[in-house]
């Protein structure tokens, strides 16, 4: 009998299709959840479905735009390993970009309002992003956004400016993913879409796709009430993070990615009501959604109470998790 070989047997490496090859493969395909308790507790004769976007790996709907923007830049040969990405952000797009950039080998730097919650600032830093805070008073100046964007480009001459407000890869990401997911998961049974407006990418891309499928579908946006907007008298007024006013605003001051033609109606919500509604989502559905989710659900509830919407299905985009706003909870 021969001596056993000391060389270990070579075991063929098995492939497993359930193993994801990196963070970016986890972006998208978020669940559509019926808010049955919310509707039943208010005796509403509608079906309310939430597109729960905090199931994206970096925690928000902005992961989709981040992947789209970075992938488009790579395909165009605008990014090389180790390059730096820069932009202005209310937090979520920056977090998404920072996460995708980390996975792809890039560095990041973001400029934020000084009033952005500490939760988002901490997340950006954990992903390795450099954070520059800008006093909220600067955003009240004439042509403030344009001035700040010029500063960003000037201070970072060798960085890639992701330009989330005007980069067409932003709404395109939602046209090719968010819209089709909602249509497929609802079985085409969606009558109204409710969304907030940040850069405009989510509502513009998703809305365009859904209206192509059903021209009768209505798109309604939630926006901050005047009391929740900063002013020279109240420069640090608590706003709804990432949610911007678009009605009665000069078109030149709106993000290029916001396509107003896709929107049928806009309803205003105060920061207080947005937070209260977000709390109701947690307590009645067990879903910990952020304040912009609360704002949009409040709009959905207003629509649901209208007699003409009886029996209809309303889809609400929940952009992120309430964990990003715990510093607002007393």
Cβ distance 57 to 82 under 8 Å? no
Percent of the chain with pLDDT over 70: 95
Using alpha carbons, list the distances in angstroms from residue 294 to 208, 243, 272, 319. 23, 11, 10, 10
Name residue 269's beta-bridge partners: 224
| Rounded CA separation 318/321 (Å) | 8
The separation between the first and the last C-alpha atoms of the chain, rounded to the nearest angstrom, is 78
Q: Across all residues in the chain, what is the average pLDDT?
A: 93
**For the whole model, what pTM was predicted?**
0.91
Average pLDDT over residues 164-192: 98
pLDDT score recorded for residue 6: 56
pLDDT at residue 330 is higher than 70: no
Which residues are marked as active site? 62, 292
Residue-wise pLDDT tens digits, 130-139? 999 999 888 8
**Residue 8's pLDDT band (boundaries 50, 70, 90)?**
low
Domains of the chain, CATH where assigned: 23-55+177-328 (3.40.50.1100), 62-161 (3.40.50.1100)
The DSSP element (H or E) to which 52 belongs, if any, is strand 47-52
Average pLDDT over residues 155-184: 97
Cβ distance 246 to 226 under 8 Å? no
Residue-wise pLDDT tens digits, 23-44? 999 999 999 999 999 999 999 9
Structure tokens at 228: 């929740």
pLDDT score recorded for residue 231: 82
Pairing type for strands 47-52 and 32-34 reads antiparallel
**Residue 229's pLDDT band (boundaries 50, 70, 90)?**
confident
């Amino acid at each position: 009998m021969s001596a056993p070989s000391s060389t270990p047997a070579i075991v063929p490496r098995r492939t497993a299709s359930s193993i994801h090859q990196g963070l970016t493969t986890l972006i998208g395909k978020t669940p559509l959840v019926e808010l049955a308790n919310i509707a039943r507790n208010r005796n509403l004769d509608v079906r309310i479905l939430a597109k729960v976007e905090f199931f994206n790996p970096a925690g928000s709907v902005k992961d989709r735009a981040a992947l789209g923007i970075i992938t488009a830049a790579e395909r165009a040969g605008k990014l090389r390993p180790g390059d730096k990405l820069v932009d202005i952000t209310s937090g979520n797009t920056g977090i998404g970009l920072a996460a995708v950039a980390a996975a792809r080998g890039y560095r990041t730097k973001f400029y934020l309002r000084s009033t952005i919650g500490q939760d988002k600032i901490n997340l950006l830093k954990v992903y390795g992003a450099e954070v520059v805070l800008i006093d909220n008073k600067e955003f009240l100046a004439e042509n403030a956004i344009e001035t700040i964007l010029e500063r960003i480009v000037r201070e970072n001459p060798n960085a890639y400016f992701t330009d989330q407000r005007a980069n067409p890869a932003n709404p395109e990401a939602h046209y090719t993913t968010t819209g089709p997911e909602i249509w497929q998961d609802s079985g085409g049974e969606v009558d109204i879409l409710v969304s907030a407006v940040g850069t405009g990418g989510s509502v513009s891309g998703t809305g365009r796709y859904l209206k192509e499928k059903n021209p009768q579908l209505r798109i309604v946006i939630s926006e901050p009430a005047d009391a929740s907007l900063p002013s020279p008298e109240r420069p640090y007024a608590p706003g709804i993070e990432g949610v911007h006013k678009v009605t009665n605003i000069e078109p030149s001051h709106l993000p290029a990615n916001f396509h107003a033609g896709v929107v049928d109606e806009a309803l205003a919500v105060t920061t207080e009501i947005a937070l209260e509604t977000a709390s109701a989502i947690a307590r009645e559905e067990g879903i910990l959604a952020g304040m912009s989710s609360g704002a949009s659900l409040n709009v959905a509830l207003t629509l649901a109470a209208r007699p003409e919407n009886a029996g209809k299905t309303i889809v609400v985009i929940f952009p992120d998790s309430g964990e990003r706003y715990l510093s607002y909870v007393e």
